[in-house]
Amino acid sequence: MRSGHVSFTEAIKNILNNAVADCFPDSGPAFECQVTPCQDKKFGDYQSNLAFLLAKRERTSPRNIAEAVAESVQAQMALPGPAGSGQARRGRISNLSPGESVGAMTAGALIETIEVAGAGFINIRLRDAALAAQLERTLADPRCGVARSAHPQRIVVDYSSPNLAKDLHVGTMRSTVIGDSIARVLEFLGHDVVRQNHFGDWGANFGVLVAMIKREYGAGLDTLQDAPLETVEELYARGSRLKKDSEEFAANAAAEVNNLQSGDPESVAVWEVLMDKTLRNCHDLYRTFNVSLDASHDCPESFYRDDLPRVVAELSDMNLLVDDDNAKCAYLDGFHNIDGDPLPVIVQKSDAGYNYSTTDLAGIRHRVGRLQAQQIIIVTDRGQELHFRMIRALAQKAGWLPDSVQLRHLGYGVILQEIKEGGRSKKVRFSTRDGGTVKIRELLAEGRRRSEKLTLERNPDIGGDELDGIAAKLTIAALKYAELKQRPVSDYTFNWDQMLASQGNTGVYILYCYVRVASLFGKSGVDKDALVRSPGSSTLSHELERELLVQLVSFPELFAGYEEELSSHDICHYLYELSTIYSRFWKDCPILTAAEDVRNTRLALSLAVANRLKLGLSLLGIEVVERM
């Protein structure tokens, strides 16, 4: 358990575990039962398949086990206790003291019915009053009932980390959006998150750029200073071609990498102008895209310049390096290529230059030693998985990464697009019309155009700054949600129409739901604060109110496994579910025209929905709008 907070799942697990211990007292090692929400709510709120797991051990049918356990729980329910037993509390949304936590409730206060279904499933339905009490506890809570971790860690999250020779492109967008959400959630859970932007400002690309600038600008660096960013990109594109065509230029470019690494003043001066330009561009983009990275998180490859020779020297002192054609390499057990030949980690190239691996090793030393990280999470494309496995193994072997520090590489898939070819559609890597990489900046511009149009179609009276603001937020919601709703390793297909659809599992749909609730409070004249102080005290009068309530109170359970799974996609799914239930509720349950007590209950439920949507979205890096 992460914290002092007890969720419904955990409370039910405790009750079931007690029942199992009661029914099968001397049956070997302690049994931990599993509890999950019921897919089909007509069976109940939660279910357990414990009977199937125990059947083998107990040599009897699952059905028999389930019945025995259910009976034992019913006996627990009949026991007197502070919160529940006896009197008809069903359906009161108030009356329970709001201080009553799930952990303090007896089985009788918590459970309405426990039933066995099919071959031995155990279905549990909770008491309305228990659910309502939980909602009341969290109505005024900005954390919506989510507790902080009982074991906060210092966690380095290395994400975004673009290569700065070019403008940021969609590949980097994945790292940026996924990493930013992880950093936000871990911070919300009480961890001490240290964001690290390990951008590439140092390698071969910069050799090309510096060589090109020297060639084309000579001493005229001022001109470069004032030139637009496209100039840099254009220089880089031409330089890359030249590198292929001209051996002389290729040698120049390689020499420039070493010049930078050894601190040659002239090359460094050129590079600084370059950096100033591209970095400003990068931070601008983070602001526009609502990414929680700023200059204080910059820790680029060049930061490790002085450490690189030390990394190599220490590895060499530990006898971990061999010379391979003049390159310094470490060979580790268990790493082979497809032909079965051992794979090296090259830490110094034959031209004496250092590389990506050397820098990552220096990074680990810094993060463990200086930053005192207890965990390191690095978000890059999944193609780098092997690289990080080897780096981890080498760092462990060198004693730079103790067992107590976990180094995790989170690899993501590629973004695809669907194209038509000869009447058939197929999926290929997402690119511009001429096959180039798609820039984030261009996506944002396109998204804004589309969002503006959509907003005006619905709401022609919106204009000016308000329209700009809404279009910007819709764009961010569309892009980030599409990115986060599946597991990072999966590829996904980029499609504006789908991403901006007002129906279906999209960020825009969830924003609509939020706007709906916001409009409700605008119209109702209800004072939200008053509602929080004395929420509804009416009977739940509709099955959809109950469905909403169950979904609302399960919010904290979303975070129970987050540190393990880094599962921002679960947050998306929760928000989507909540929004679909709310829109059914909205259709079937009149709010403002209902009798006062019913109205207050429905308003309290609505407020709780809005709070969870807003909080959940903020953890994805998405801001809400009040109308659209």
Q: Which residues bind ligand ARG (CB under 6 A)?
A: 158, 161-163, 198, 200, 360, 363, 378, 380
Pick the closer one to ligand ARG by CB: 122 or 364. Answer: 364
Least Cβ distance, residue 186 to ligand ARG (angstroms)? 17
| Minimal distance, residue 367 CB to ligand ARG, in Å | 9
Using CA atoms, how far apart are residues 284 and 459, in angstroms rounded to an integer?
30
Q: Whose CA is closest to 549, among 126, 106, 48, 123?
A: 126
Closest to ligand ARG by CB, 113 or 437: 437
For residues 367 and 373, is the Cβ–Cβ distance under 8 A?
yes
- In the complex, the smallest distance separating the C-beta of residue 447 from ligand ARG, rounded to whole angstroms, is 23
Output 388 or 512, the one with its CB closest to ligand ARG.
388
Q: How far is the CB of 370 from ligand ARG (least distance, A)?
A: 15
Instruction: Find, among 213, 198, 211, the residue nearest to 164 by Cα.
Output: 198
Nearer to ligand ARG, 111 or 361 (CB): 361
Q: Which of residues 303 and 585 has its CB atom nearest to ligand ARG in the complex? A: 303
C-alpha distances (whole Å) from 356 to each of 77, 252, 363, 388 are 61, 20, 10, 11
User: Cα(191)–Cα(184) distance, rounded to whole angstroms?
Assistant: 10
Distance (Å, whole) CA 568 – CA 488 = 9
Sequence-distant (≥ 6) Cβ neighbours of residue 313 within 8 angstroms: none
- Which amino acid type is present at position 27? S
The runs of H, that is alpha helices, within 8-106 are 8-23, 50-58, 62-78
From the CB of 51, what's the least distance to ligand ARG, in Å?
Answer: 47
Torsion of Cα atoms, 243 then 244 then 245 then 251, to 10°:
40
Q: Which is nearer to ligand ARG, 109 or 364 (CB)?
A: 364
Residues paired with 381 in a beta bridge: 412
Minimum separation from the CB atom of position 191 to ligand ARG (A): 19
Instruction: Select 134 or 380, whichever has its Cβ closest to ligand ARG.
Output: 380
Least Å from the CB of residue 161 to ligand ARG: 4
70 closest CA partner among 110, 17, 37, 115: 115
412 has which bridge partners? Answer: 381
Smaller CB distance to ligand ARG: residue 52 or 388?
388
Q: Which two tokens stand for residue 249?
A: 């230029």
By C-beta, is 198 or 365 nearer to ligand ARG?
198
Distance CA 296, CA 223 (A): 28
φ, ψ at 536 (rounded to 5°): -55, 150
Handedness of CA 265, 268, 272, 274 (dihedral sign): positive
Q: How near is the Cβ of 510 to ligand ARG at its closest, in Å?
A: 30
| Closest CB to ligand ARG among residues 197, 506 | 197
Q: For ligand ARG, give the closer residue by CB, 120 or 200.
A: 200
Q: How far is the CB of 175 from ligand ARG (least distance, A)?
A: 7
Sheet holding 415-421, edge to edge: 424-429, 415-421, 492-493
CB of 333 to ligand ARG, least distance (A): 23
Going 15 to 19 to 21 to 22, the CA torsion angle's sign is: positive
CB of 236 to ligand ARG, least distance (A): 15
326: burial class by Cβ within 10 Å (0-12, 13-18, 19+)?
exposed
Smallest gap from residue 199 Cβ to ligand ARG (A): 6
Confirm if 528 and 535 have CB atoms less than 8 A apart: no
In this complex, which beta carbon is closest to ligand ARG, that of residue 201 or of residue 452? 201
Strands 492-493 and 424-429 turn out to be: unpaired
Of 498, 494, 450, 493, nearest to 474 (Cα)?
450
d(CA 125, CA 112): 5
What is the DSSP annotation of 415-446? EEEEEEETTEEEEEE---TTS-PPBHHHHHHH
Q: Which is nearer to ligand ARG, 82 or 383 (CB)?
A: 383
CB-based closest residue to ligand ARG: 161
Handedness of CA 235, 239, 240, 245 (dihedral sign): positive
| CA–CA separation, 330 and 504 (whole Å) | 51
For the bound state, the minimum distance from the C-beta of residue 445 to ligand ARG, rounded and expressed in Å, comes to 23
24 or 236: CB nearest ligand ARG: 236
Provide, rounded to whole angstroms, the least separation between the CB of residue 240 and ligand ARG: 16
